[in-house]
Chains A and B, each alone.
Chain A
Amino acid sequence: MRIVAEDLTYIYNPASPFAVKALNGVSLTVEEGEFFGIIGHTGSGKSTFVQHLNGLIRLPSSLKKRKRPRGWKNIPPAVLKVGDFDLADPKTDFRALRKSVGMVFQYPEYQLFAETVKEDVAFGLKNFTEKGKAKPTDEEIAAAVKDALHVVGLDEGIAEQSPFDLSGGQRRRVAIAGVIVTRPEVLVLDEPAAGLDPLGKREIMELLHRIHGDWCKTVVIVSHDMDEIAENCTRVAVFSEGRVVRCAPPAELFKDAASLLALGLDIPLTAKLTLALEKRGISIDCDYTMKDFVRRVLARKGGGQ
């Protein structure tokens, strides 16, 4: 499913002294099949934007008149489409949308509630049963849970355990399994690796690559970790003060490191090394993944011989 946003604006607490313009005319397209990255400082609007994607935050035009918050009148009409879902239209089936767009929040392990891992993972599966259709049988549920646990790299043996007996990293994976179990076409993750140790981070990124493609066609991640972004993403949008200020593949984005640094954002280690080498008169033209950087450096050395 293709995601198209045009001129998206959002204000928290409109018409009050606490009003905050979180989004200020965001236009962005994410193609089907991308592993899309969103970066920017805390408060730049990233999280607000992604919460629009499955209708947790609704466009004012999609709400009934009397439910529209005060102070919205001056906001221009926006476009937001996810596949065939028109999120500006009040007639849209938002439940169906949520089934197609999975959302993993920050620290998702804190949303676990059920007595067993199996029950927790199956929660979404039971909720999203379409009206009029037969509820999934116990066997179907067990099979779906098993598959979901497998893809996040957990042993099915833990299905009967309490999620609260697991380690932090395992719990996070259970939580991710609980979102992808319904096989959403788009998976959105808000800082999926936050708070984990380096090894845990790597494992999460590996599992996202396993999910990307067969399980979920499109993956969108919000991240602060530029190395993570450089290694994994097809394209990156840079949010700043509620706007998208850049949108490009990492290879292009990090070439212009100065503009990112000017925004107070970090750059990946490979970009830092490239800059340092440039100062020494050596230009390395890489796509900023570690593998490519190493390959090009070695080629430079070999090429000189």
Chain B
Amino acid sequence: MKEVAFGQYYPVDSFVHRLDPRFKIVFLIGFIVAIFVASNFYGLAVCASVLIAAIAFSRVPFGKIVRAVRGVLFLVIFTALINILFHGGDTVYWSYGILCVSKEGILFSAYLVIRLVLLVVCSSLLTYTTTPVALTDGIESLLTPLKWIRFPVHALALVMSIALRMIPILMDETERIKNAQKARGADFESGNLFKRVKAFIPVLVPLLLSAFRRADELGDAMDARCYNGGHRTKYKKLRFSWRDLVGALLGAALITGVVLLRVYLGDIV
């Protein structure tokens, strides 16, 4: 009954949702490279505008994006503070012992924070717009060349697929067992760390037993459907479309643009 929202896929139909997952993974890698190559605010501005456009095309509500950033808010603030206080520089506004707030420090920490936020937003945009299933298919397909060195790509893909199927079930089950033990007076919320870990034993034991039982039956069901780990075919083939071409061109343009900005405009400010 209760739906466990596994992963954070946001189910709407959009240009970005329809892109080939392999393309999105490659574009994400390209984008991350671009973020790291960008050495000044102009480069970051270009990255940010591309990302904002992508968000607009994805029809994922802005609130969702904000929530993704909120998850790493602590890290962002921590990074900002450390750099503002310890970076040092020529134009000093305030100093106390080894602490020193300078113009350079503020700019540098802003630069780092923007990079961090861009990184988080673009990765979460991938998970918002790509189902976990499509993601595994994409990863499998991208790893296909590894078959040449006898890497068991196929088995790995099957493991990922089964994990995707089973994780929500086990999460649901954890919730159920937790509730059952809570009904018998178990307390998971109070006491010191040791007490809390100990309180989880009545959840962990049934959960493990259930996982084994499920694995057993799944194994039988796979056997019964002629699985033998040998040669098999694949029904779903991913296909590139015109959208992916557009995306790929945009990605290449982005990296080139950022590199040019770096060469001509130099480092921060």
Q: Do chains A and B touch in the complex (CB under 8 A)?
A: yes
Chain A contact residues, CB within 8 Å of chain B = 12-13, 16-18, 20, 22, 42-43, 47-48, 51, 54, 56, 95, 98-99, 102-103, 105, 108, 110-114, 123-124, 126-128, 164, 178-179, 182
Bound CA span A182–B186, Å: 13
Bound CA span A127–B187, Å: 8
Contact of A13 among B3, B181, B185, B210 (CB under 8 A): B3
Question: Is the beta-carbon distance between A95 and B185 smaller than 8 angstroms?
Answer: yes
Would A113 and B183 be within 8 Å (CB), given that A12-B1, A13-B5 are in contact?
no
Q: Which residues of B contact A114 (CB under 8 A)?
A: 202
B152 interfacial by beta-carbon distance below 8 Å: no
17 A-B pairs, CB-CB below 8 angstroms? Answer: A12-B1, A13-B5, A17-B11, A17-B12, A48-B1, A56-B182, A98-B182, A102-B183, A105-B183, A108-B180, A110-B177, A110-B206, A111-B181, A113-B202, A113-B204, A124-B184, A124-B185
CB distance from A18 to the nearest CB of B (A): 5
Question: Which chain B residue shows the least CB distance to A126?
Answer: B185
Report whether over half of chain B's contact residues are helix, strand or loop; otherwise say mixed: helix
Would A127 and B186 be within 8 Å (CB), given that A111-B206, A113-B201 are in contact?
yes
For chain B, the count of residues having a C-beta within 8 Å of the partner chain is 26
Chain B contact residues, CB within 8 Å of chain A = 1-3, 5, 10-12, 176-177, 179-187, 201-206, 209-210
Question: Is the beta-carbon distance between A51 and B179 smaller than 8 angstroms?
Answer: yes
Would A16 and B5 be within 8 Å (CB), given that A110-B206, A112-B206 are in contact?
yes
Question: Which chain B residue shows the least CB distance to A108?
Answer: B180
Question: Which chain B residue shows the least CB distance to A99?
Answer: B185
Contact of B184 among A16, A127, A164 (CB under 8 A): A127
Number of A-B contacts (CB under 8 A): 72
Bound CA span A34–B56, Å: 58
CB distance from B12 to the nearest CB of A (A): 8
Question: Is the beta-carbon distance between A179 and B184 smaller than 8 angstroms?
Answer: yes
Question: Is the beta-carbon distance between A54 and B184 smaller than 8 angstroms?
Answer: no
Q: A20-B3, A112-B206, A182-B185 are in contact. List 13 more A-B contacts (CB 8 A).
A: A12-B3, A17-B11, A18-B3, A18-B5, A47-B1, A51-B179, A54-B183, A56-B183, A95-B187, A98-B185, A105-B180, A110-B177, A111-B181
Q: Which residues of B contact A13 (CB under 8 A)?
A: 3, 5
Bound CA span A12–B209, Å: 28
- Ranked nearest first, the 3 interchain pairs of A and B with the lowest CB-CB distance are A127-B185, A113-B205, A124-B184
Question: Which chain B residue shows the least CB distance to A123?
Answer: B184
Report whether over half of chain A's contact residues are helix, strand or loop; otherwise say mixed: mixed
Q: Which residues of A contact B12 (CB under 8 A)?
A: 17
CB distance from B87 to the nearest CB of A (A): 35
Question: Is the beta-carbon distance between B202 and A123 smaller than 8 angstroms?
Answer: yes
Bound CA span A43–B2, Å: 9
Question: Which chain A residue shows the least CB distance to B3?
Answer: A18
Contact of A43 among B1, B176, B181, B210 (CB under 8 A): B1
Q: Which residues of B contact A103 (CB under 8 A)?
A: 180, 183
Question: Is the beta-carbon distance between A113 and B206 smaller than 8 angstroms?
Answer: yes
Bound CA span A43–B210, Å: 24
Q: Which residues of B contact A43 (CB under 8 A)?
A: 1
CB distance from B185 to the nearest CB of A (A): 3
Question: Which chain A residue shows the least CB distance to B213?
Answer: A110
Question: Which chain A residue shows the least CB distance to B9?
Answer: A17
CB distance from A162 to the nearest CB of B (A): 12
Bound CA span A179–B184, Å: 6
CB distance from B180 to the nearest CB of A (A): 4
Question: Is the beta-carbon distance between B179 and A105 smaller than 8 angstroms?
Answer: yes
Q: Which residues of A contact B205 (CB under 8 A)?
A: 113
Question: Which chain A residue shows the least CB distance to B204?
Answer: A113
Question: Which chain B residue shows the least CB distance to A188?
Answer: B183
Q: Which residues of B contact A95 (CB under 8 A)?
A: 185, 187
Bound CA span A215–B180, Å: 20
Q: Which residues of A contact B181 (CB under 8 A)?
A: 111, 123
CB distance from A272 to the nearest CB of B (A): 29
Question: Is the beta-carbon distance between B10 and A17 smaller than 8 angstroms?
Answer: yes
Q: Which of B183, B202, B205, B206 has the most CB of A within 10 A?
A: B183
Q: Which of B182, B184, B201 has the most CB of A within 10 A?
A: B184
CB distance from A47 to the nearest CB of B (A): 6
